[in-house]
């Protein structure tokens, strides 16, 4: 089933991309579970996402999903404002708060959030603290949550981490992960989570506004690729987000896809796209030829 590959991301539902209706965010989480999505990713940094997840899980009567959260990045309501505390005491309190808020005694995955901001000289202490959390039964598996710096490879090679989540490195406008991190993870039996399947909205509802005013984080080359992808989608009578979602299903690799809806309408549209299945081989080749690799 397609839903088995999908992970519900909760940043948008928590309010980091704008104000949300708490009731609707809870309903969206429940709708995702009812649709068959069996994994949910959250973080203290995702606004009120952990609160809404906890509320949804208390109402849910089905099988419990795989739950992942993160540690290191602090609560915020703005995706572009990162505040961090990787001290042992702060991380311990963060994990304790996450477990209590979500309503579980153990996370299935605990991600180290945004490892690229960690000075390499602090890595050994921080990772030792993560291992301690796992040994204490607070997390079943450890993950790298964010595009990782070169020094992280030492710890990945050592088998410390079971899951890697990257963003904006595997989608229709950027396939660089196909050349490095995805084959690396697959060769080492590390589960791979591809976040931002629409490249932070570029391949969705934001492309029009991004054309008018390009955000600082978005390279010109990537925007130009998205505009060419828009033309490919129109030629084949597809919407750009539908083509982008189905593109990921069409790749011959085993990885998970992290959705990032802000409400139930976006969730429903994404699930509908994925349920249409893989793209024809000809369209897949057009996208690969166009994409940045």
The predicted pLDDT at position 1 comes to 59
| φ, ψ at 90 (rounded to 5°) | -65, -40
Instruction: Using pLDDT thresholds of 50, 70 and 90, give the confidence band for residue 3.
Output: confident
Whether pLDDT at 252 is above 60:
yes
Write the pLDDT tens digit of every residue in 64-85: 999 999 999 999 998 778 899 9
Give 173's contacts (C-beta < 8 A, 6+ positions apart): 199, 202, 203, 222, 225, 226, 229, 244, 291, 292
Taking the C-alpha atoms of residue 24 and residue 88, their distance in angstroms, rounded to an integer, is 35
**Topology annotation, domain 2-167:** TIM Barrel (3.20.20)
In the chain, the percentage of residues whose pLDDT exceeds 70 is: 99
Q: Average of pLDDT values for 219-244?
A: 97
Q: In b/e form, how buried is each residue of 78-104, taking b as 16+ CB within 10 angstroms? A: ebeeeeeebeeeebbebbeebbebbeb
Write the pLDDT tens digit of every residue in 102-152: 999 999 999 999 999 999 999 999 999 999 999 999 999 999 999 999 999
Instruction: Using pLDDT thresholds of 50, 70 and 90, give the confidence band for residue 292.
Output: low
The predicted pLDDT at position 81 comes to 82
CB 42, CB 53: distance < 8 Å? yes
Q: Tokens in use for 264?
A: 């139930």
The predicted pLDDT at position 80 comes to 79
Whether pLDDT at 273 is above 70:
yes
The predicted pLDDT at position 231 comes to 97
Q: Which has the higher per-residue pLDDT, 291 or 41?
A: 41
The predicted pLDDT at position 78 comes to 82
3-state secondary structure of 66: strand
Q: Average of pLDDT values for 151-170?
A: 97
Q: pTM of the prediction? A: 0.95
Q: Average of pLDDT values for 181-205?
A: 97
The predicted pLDDT at position 204 comes to 93
The predicted pLDDT at position 291 comes to 82
- What is the chain's mean pLDDT, rounded? 96
């Amino acid at each position: 089933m397609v839903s088995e590959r999908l992970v519900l991301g909760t940043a948008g539902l928590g309010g980091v991309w704008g104000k949300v209706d708490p009731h609707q965010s809870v309903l969206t989480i429940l709708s995702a579970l009812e649709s068959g999505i069996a994994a949910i990713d959250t973080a203290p940094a995702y606004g009120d996402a952990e609160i809404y997840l906890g509320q949804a899980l208390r109402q849910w009567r089905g099988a419990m999903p795989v739950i992942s959260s993160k540690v290191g990045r602090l609560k915020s309501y703005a995706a572009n404002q990162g505040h961090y505390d990787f001290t042992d005491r702060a991380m311990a309190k963060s994990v304790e708060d996450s477990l209590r808020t979500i309503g579980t005694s153990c996370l299935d995955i605990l991600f180290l959030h945004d490892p690229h901001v960690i000075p390499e000289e602090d890595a050994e202490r921080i990772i030792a603290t993560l291992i301690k959390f796992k040994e204490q039964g607070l997390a079943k598996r450890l993950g790298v949550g964010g595009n990782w710096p070169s020094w992280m490879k030492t710890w990945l090679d050592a088998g410390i981490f079971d899951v890697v989540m990257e963003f904006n490195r595997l989608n229709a406008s950027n396939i660089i992960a196909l050349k490095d991190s995805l084959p690396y993870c697959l060769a080492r039996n590390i589960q791979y989570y591809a976040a931002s399947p629409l490249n932070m909205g570029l391949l969705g509802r934001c492309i029009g506004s991004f054309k008018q005013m390009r955000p600082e984080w978005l390279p010109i080359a990537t925007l130009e690729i998205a505009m060419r992808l828009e033309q490919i989608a129109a030629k084949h009578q597809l919407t750009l987000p539908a083509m982008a979602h189905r593109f990921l299903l069409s790749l011959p690799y085993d990885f998970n896809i992290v959705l990032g809806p802000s409400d139930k309408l976006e969730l429903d549209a994404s699930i509908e796209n994925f349920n249409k299945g893989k793209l024809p081989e000809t369209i897949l080749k057009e996208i690969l030829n166009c994409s940045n690799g």
